Structure 1
Amino acid sequence: MVYYSSRLIHTLVTRGHSGNTYELPEVYFIGILNFALDNIDNDRYYYDVVLCDREKGEQFYDKLGFKLLCLPNFRKEEVEIKSFMDMWLYLFKHMSKLNEIPKFLDKRVFGLIFDIGEVSNLNSEDMKAYELSLKDKRDAESIRLTAERIGMEKGIKKGMEKGIEKGREEERAKAEAEKRISALKMLKSGFDSKVIADIIGLSIEEIEKL
């Protein structure tokens, strides 16, 4: 337990400068045991182990823990099952003997485990058919997602083109308006229409309309 937990902690430490502070993540080892951990205390089925200060009897470090479930020591019958912990322990201990979900287990919570169990017990021919059906499902989902992505890319491209064209139209309209303002100022200053047309780039008819 210590060996594998230590290796996991080591791999989770951030590399580079950001890892210099050694801000370690929380790591909990959960062991489901098919043997009794202590032959003397054979009624105890749940162990919650942490690093502890021996003298003070207090928890020394709160980001590392070992949760151990000893299935042989769990002897509760169905009528005694009350908590979710009891439900999980009962399920782990009796899974190989159960053909269906016991009534006291919530199907919304425990149904998936039985689905997984059914798949793992398929014969080779049924397993092949199951894997092919999964492949077909994944292929169909991949095609759908690809179509959505292509459609989105086309929509973005079309929208960008429309936006660019709209921007160009607005720029042209702004430039034309500025030409007319400049032409009007020149007219008020006494410039001839032909001279203004040559300088500004508007036709004489457009200038006379001003």
Structure 2
Amino acid sequence: MKSSFEDHYLQNISLVNTGTGEIFHNGLGFKFLELPEFDKREDELENELDKWVYVLKHMHSLGKIPEYLDKRIFQKIFNVAEMGKLSPEQRFLYESDLQKQSDYQCVLADMVEKGKLEFSIEIARAMKKENFDIYKIAKFTKLSIEQINNL
């Protein structure tokens, strides 16, 4: 990989103590990415950084993910970019559908929890009939003493 000195589109900036001229902290600095300065063509991309910068610069004109970028993370980026192309009505429908899916998952999770509670209550009833110690019933069923007494 080229050093950042050779990549004129990527600048590594370090903080320098103006009194001593020494770098303030090796792990603290800035990286500036100048997209207009990135002039590599698709066939000149050498590493992952080049691929990322190319995608960022050309996202607006790429109709599909180029073969060399066919990775999960780039797919996510393209999906986000596609969302930006939706009309307000399409975006509303999409977000409504996502909300319905989320609501459905919440209902399912709630049903599972209710099922667990009902199962615990049935176990507690059976243990109570068999004269188990109330503290053991609470320990095994995770119900409160009050809930068990109310059965």
Which residue matches 1:142?
A: 106
Which residue matches 1:116?
A: 80
Identical-residue share of aligned pairs (%): 31
Confirm or deny that 1:167 pairs with 2:101: no
Aligned length in residues: 127
Which residue matches 1:125?
A: 89
Q: Secondary structure at the match of 1:138?
A: helix
Cα-Cα RMSD: 2.7
Cα distance in structure 2, aligned partners of 1:142 and 1:132 = 15
Amino acid of the structure 2 residue aligned with 1:103: E
8 A contact 1:45–1:73 mirrored in 2: yes
Cα distance in structure 2, aligned partners of 1:163 and 1:61 = 65
Go from structure 1 to structure 2 and tell me whether the alpha carbon gap of 1:58 and 1:136 turns closer, same or farther (over 3 Å shift): same
Which residue matches 1:102?
A: 66
**C-alpha distance after superposition, 1:26-64 (max 9, x if no partner):** xxxxxxxxxxxxxxx9x62112233334536345263x4
Go from structure 1 to structure 2 and tell me whether the alpha carbon gap of 1:61 and 1:163 turns closer, same or farther (over 3 Å shift): farther
Q: Secondary structure at the match of 2:16?
A: strand
Cα distance in structure 1, aligned partners of 2:71 and 2:57 = 18
Q: Secondary structure at the match of 2:67?
A: coil
Go from structure 1 to structure 2 and tell me whether the alpha carbon gap of 1:79 and 1:148 turns closer, same or farther (over 3 Å shift): same
Which residue matches 1:45?
A: 9
Which residue matches 1:83?
A: 47
Please state how far the C-alpha of 1:90 moved relative to its aligned partner. 0.4
8 A contact 1:53–1:60 mirrored in 2: no
Normalised by the length of structure 2, the TM-score is: 0.69
Go from structure 1 to structure 2 and tell me whether the alpha carbon gap of 1:167 and 1:51 turns closer, same or farther (over 3 Å shift): farther
User: Which 5+ residue runs of structure 2 have no aligned equivalent?
Assistant: 135-151
Confirm or deny that 1:70 pairs with 2:31: no
Q: Which has the higher strand share?
A: 1
Cα distance in structure 1, aligned partners of 2:30 and 2:103 = 41
Go from structure 1 to structure 2 and tell me whether the alpha carbon gap of 1:158 and 1:107 turns closer, same or farther (over 3 Å shift): same
